[in-house]
Structure 1
Amino acid sequence: MSDIGSSGIPDGNTYAHYTVGAIVLYGIFVTPLFILWCISLCIARRKGDPARAGIAWIKAVYPLWILYLVLHTIGYALRLWTYLVEYDNDVFSSRSDFTTISRAVSQASDRFYDIARLFMYLANILLLIAFFELSNGFLLCLNGGTPPPLQKRLRYAILSFALLVFALAIAYLGTGEQFYSTYYDYLALPGVDSAIEVKLANEANTSNRLGAAVDILLWIASLPAIGYASLVVHQTKNHPPLHDPAILLLASTALASLRLLCLMIITARYFLDPSQAFIPPYVTLTVGPLFDAVCMFVVLVLLFTLAARKQKGLWSVPPPQWAAPAWVPSMGVAAPAPAGQPGMVWQGPGAYQSQQPQPQPQPYYYYPPPQQMGGYPQPQQGAGYPHEVPPNLQTPRELEQQQGVSGLKAPAA
């Protein structure tokens, strides 16, 4: 929000140089993010995929953030125009013409700022929800499809918090629009009215404090998101297919929290001393865009990488090596002994053969290691060594005695 009558404010020429940098920082990421958003829409998630909820929230973040960048770029471009033509007397035929057009352009620029900031708040809210939903998806995989005990309560808590922050964001937009309407109406008056100036100062402080409150609450909410992502990384440390995506989730969550921390520090001055809350242009037009636009772009790229690691779902496809057939040794072959020699001769073990594929249950989203599934060959009982007769084989004489006793030969009298 603009400060009225603050001392020590740089002139328009100084602001113009910083504004050019802000336009570049905000406008340069519009095209690549739009491309990533279009690609993400083509990667469909199957019903029941644990990553589907989180990825759906991420897909909703992209258009909101793109609108924020576009509106912010337009607002800065309009403001830059007023700075550049302020000292050019050849542009307008009279000073009154310049004043009228300049006020109209400045008013449009300020309203673009406020609407853009609302889209930024919405994108931040949806991004936090996406972080929690992705963490829930990881834990859902680890539990074999059983939802974590606190998943429903955590979901209700984050949605309730999101509604609270959204209400504050709407209030910020409303008070900001009211301030600008009063301010530009006051500029059109011929004289000075101290009562209106006091009203303007109060409306500006109210709007600025609401915006700062939203920034602070969003940063506070990012801390549990980091803790939840850290828990996911710890829980998946023995599961490589889940551990690598979990690290990407933790990195993106930490970077998003750093960005929110920077924005909170910039706007926290409105709570400390609103009357001295003038922020230098190199902070609002250079440091702020660096942490705001650049960090958010990196976060969205990391989340896009996380979402696109497997086109059929993050964890719905087991690694290829787990699909290899298990190899087990075949049972040895017993053959009749040569003539004149009683018993059987052990011919040694047969060649290794591929076990017939068994019908597998439909995979969920994460398969346990093969040794937990019984996929590795188990030792066969009675296989013996090549030079031994297995204990479960009987000689022909033993078979003949058993069969003869049962009725092939009449018992002796």
Structure 2
Amino acid sequence: MVYVAAITRTVAIGLLVLPSLLLWYLSLTIAKSHGDPARQWINFLRSALAFMVLGTSFFTIVGTLRLSVTGLEMLPYEVWGIVHSVMALLATLFLHATYIFVFSTSVETAVAINIIRNGPLAPPLRAVRNFAQALCVILALLAISTFALYLRVIIGNDVTLGRTVTRLTAAITVMLLVTAVLTLPFSVALITRATYPQDARQPAILLVVCNVLNIIPHAFEVAYLAQYGGFGGPALNYVEPWLSILAPIVAWWSPFLLLLVLFSLAIKRTNGVWSIQPPMSPVFKYQQYACDVAEQQHQQNWYNQSSHNTSPYGCNEPYELQPNTMEWQRPISPARPSAFAALKHYASATTTRLQPRSPSPKKDRRGSE
């Protein structure tokens, strides 16, 4: 059963290597121009995907070597133990880096949506944002410190640091869970307001999904550490086979689904929040976009209410503004009005034609000659 569990978790994580690498390659083809605000967002996505590829690759290599009898015979036991532990440690480090980049991207997306809707950040929200950025730095330092200490335990055989490494790992997991729980109410509040920009509603919904997916693996990891000696008492060596399969799947598939959600934001940059507001900006940077949207709404209202309306259905096709190009373009397939609106327009047009016209003044042909 243990051998079957090892095969299952190795295959389950190995299946993520190719899709993660494909997403990373596709992210290189998005937002290449330096003037595109989405370029800065894509840099977050590329970094998280790169760490995801490295982490899943190391995890798959470790699982394959563990299952390979030939690989065990080629290396001495001490060398094999060091190689196995270092690769597993690198996989954990890259997993933590992926979560840190996902959390940073989620916070910046929520801030960008709030800036587009409400204008510059208020002092309380700016303080919350600064705290989130400082928390990302603290998480990164804790992850690097855990890696260095555990490397000293493996190579230098310093067993006294084992307890410290366990506590640091537990601290990172708890902090990631707290950040995910605190980000969720803020993202839910973004979609509960009555007034809402159309170009920011779908990213806000995706942000809620992203935060829900972010809570699941951290809650599972906290429960796992609490059960098997992460928060106190001696660590347990025996783990049930089903739990040894479920733990890495939850730990690695959750960030992959998170990156899929963020990638859906990236490919919708032509009408999404990523094309309007860049990250790390405390104010609404693209004021011209807001002016163009207001001007577009004004022209559309005037054009629909004007007597120059020549549409056979009682209303004209609205114009849409492309945020990246700031150009006016007609939609490909405009919505068809109802039959009642078409009948009303036909009646008003018939009444206009039946009204007598005022005589136009005759031109003096002599003066023109």
- Settle same-fold status: TM greater than 0.5: yes
Matching of residue 23 in structure 1 with residue 10 in structure 2: yes
Cα distance change, pair 51–310 in 1 and its aligned pair in 2 (3 A): closer
| Paired position in structure 2 for 1:38 | 25
RMSD of the alignment, in Å?
A: 4.1
> Aligned with 2:68: secondary structure?
helix
Unaligned runs of 5+ in 2: 277-288, 327-350, 359-369
Cα distance change, pair 177–284 in 1 and its aligned pair in 2 (3 A): farther
| Paired position in structure 1 for 2:145 | 171
One-letter identity of the residue aligned with 2:5: Y
**Retained in 2: the 8 A contact 1:50–1:140?**
no
Cα distance change, pair 150–37 in 1 and its aligned pair in 2 (3 A): farther
Counterpart-to-counterpart distance in 1, 2:102 and 2:108: 10
Counterpart-to-counterpart distance in 2, 1:256 and 1:218: 9
| Paired position in structure 2 for 1:8 | none
One-letter identity of the residue aligned with 1:246: A
Matching of residue 133 in structure 1 with residue 133 in structure 2: no
Instruction: Select which of 32, 50, 56 maps to 1:63.
Output: 50
**Retained in 2: the 8 A contact 1:55–1:130?**
no
State the Cα deviation string for residues 66-122 of structure 1 (Å, max 9, x = none).
Answer: 11111111122222235x888xxxxx6xxxxx8x62332222011101122111111
Greater mean alpha carbon deviation, residues 224-233 or residues 307-316? 307-316
Instruction: Select which of 185, 209, 222 maps to 1:264.
Output: 222
State the Cα deviation string for residues 232-264 of structure 1 (Å, max 9, x = none).
Answer: 222377444322221111101111111111122
Cα distance change, pair 362–246 in 1 and its aligned pair in 2 (3 A): closer
Matching of residue 250 in structure 1 with residue 250 in structure 2: no
Identity of aligned residues (%): 20
Counterpart-to-counterpart distance in 2, 1:50 and 1:152: 21
Unaligned runs of 5+ in 1: 1-13, 87-91, 93-97, 184-198, 331-350, 367-384, 394-413
| Paired position in structure 1 for 2:78 | 103
State the Cα deviation string for residues 2-21 of structure 1 (Å, max 9, x = none).
Answer: xxxxxxxxxxxx53322111
Counterpart-to-counterpart distance in 2, 1:267 and 1:296: 19
| Paired position in structure 1 for 2:259 | 300
Instruction: Select which of 84, 98, 104 maps to 1:123.
Output: 98
TM-score by length of 2: 0.71
What does 1:318-357 correspond to in 2, within 5 Å? 326-330=303-307, 352=309
One-letter identity of the residue aligned with 2:304: W
Matching of residue 220 in structure 1 with residue 195 in structure 2: no
**Retained in 1: the 8 A contact 2:225–2:231?**
no
**1:229 Cα deviation after fit:** 1.0
Cα distance change, pair 135–220 in 1 and its aligned pair in 2 (3 A): same
Larger Rg belongs to = 1
**Retained in 2: the 8 A contact 1:229–1:249?**
yes
**1:162 Cα deviation after fit:** 1.6
Cα distance change, pair 225–48 in 1 and its aligned pair in 2 (3 A): farther
Counterpart-to-counterpart distance in 2, 1:312 and 1:228: 23
> Aligned with 2:56: secondary structure?
helix
The number of equivalent residue pairs is 311
| Paired position in structure 2 for 1:204 | 162
State the Cα deviation string for residues 114-162 of structure 1 (Å, max 9, x = none).
Answer: 1221111111111111110000111121135x34544542332112112
**Retained in 2: the 8 A contact 1:25–1:293?**
no
Counterpart-to-counterpart distance in 2, 1:25 and 1:363: 40
One-letter identity of the residue aligned with 1:298: L
Counterpart-to-counterpart distance in 2, 1:361 and 1:237: 20
> Aligned with 1:233: secondary structure?
coil
Cα distance change, pair 363–271 in 1 and its aligned pair in 2 (3 A): closer
Cα distance change, pair 328–159 in 1 and its aligned pair in 2 (3 A): closer
**Retained in 2: the 8 A contact 1:255–1:295?**
yes
**1:217 Cα deviation after fit:** 1.0
| Paired position in structure 2 for 1:73 | 60
**Retained in 2: the 8 A contact 1:46–1:312?**
no
Cα distance change, pair 122–352 in 1 and its aligned pair in 2 (3 A): closer
**1:53 Cα deviation after fit:** 4.8
**1:272 Cα deviation after fit:** 4.0
State the Cα deviation string for residues 145-189 of structure 1 (Å, max 9, x = none).
Answer: x34544542332112112222222122112211221244xxxxxx
Matching of residue 288 in structure 1 with residue 288 in structure 2: no
Counterpart-to-counterpart distance in 1, 2:197 and 2:214: 26
**Retained in 1: the 8 A contact 2:38–2:269?**
no
Larger RCO (CA under 8 A, 6+ residues apart): 2
**1:274 Cα deviation after fit:** 3.4
Counterpart-to-counterpart distance in 2, 1:17 and 1:352: 71
Cα distance change, pair 32–222 in 1 and its aligned pair in 2 (3 A): same
